Amino acid sequence: MNLLDLDNSWKLLRDQVFGLEHDHPPELGEIGKEIAEKCQGLPFTISVISGHLSKVDRTLESWKDVARTLSKVLASHPDKCLGVLEGFIRISGRSRKSLEEVAVYYLEDLISRNLIMARKRRFN
């Protein structure tokens, strides 16, 4: 698979965060392109980051925070694509959820980040 150029990286990120028909807020355009550029044309990295961006507030400050975090992670682990996941999963010791509820939450989170694809859902 070839690396994406900046325009296609931004298009992939934008489409995955906002959907194909939805336009993005203008103030997120520049920082979005900066985030896409930091993904170095890697579609998997862009998919992971877009999954995360779809869960955070769509504000300039939130996206700048993601850009800063992404820079630090990629600088410390430049050869590890999965490094972009560090710092995005928060564990709370005060949770009163059952293990099953926690597992379902993380499964849904992985699906929404495009890390896994659910072929079929069943009651169990």
User: In this structure, what token pair is assigned to residue 106?
Assistant: 């993380």
Summarised one tens digit per residue, pLDDT across range 54-103 is 889 999 999 999 999 887 776 665 555 554 446 444 555 666 777 677 77
Q: What is the DSSP letter of 27?
A: G
Q: What is the mean pLDDT of the chain?
A: 80
Q: How far is CA 21 from CA 14, 24, 27, 65, 110, in A?
A: 10, 10, 18, 26, 24
Q: How far is CA 39 from CA 3, 72, 94, 97, 119, in A?
A: 10, 12, 34, 34, 27
Its pTM surpasses 0.85: no
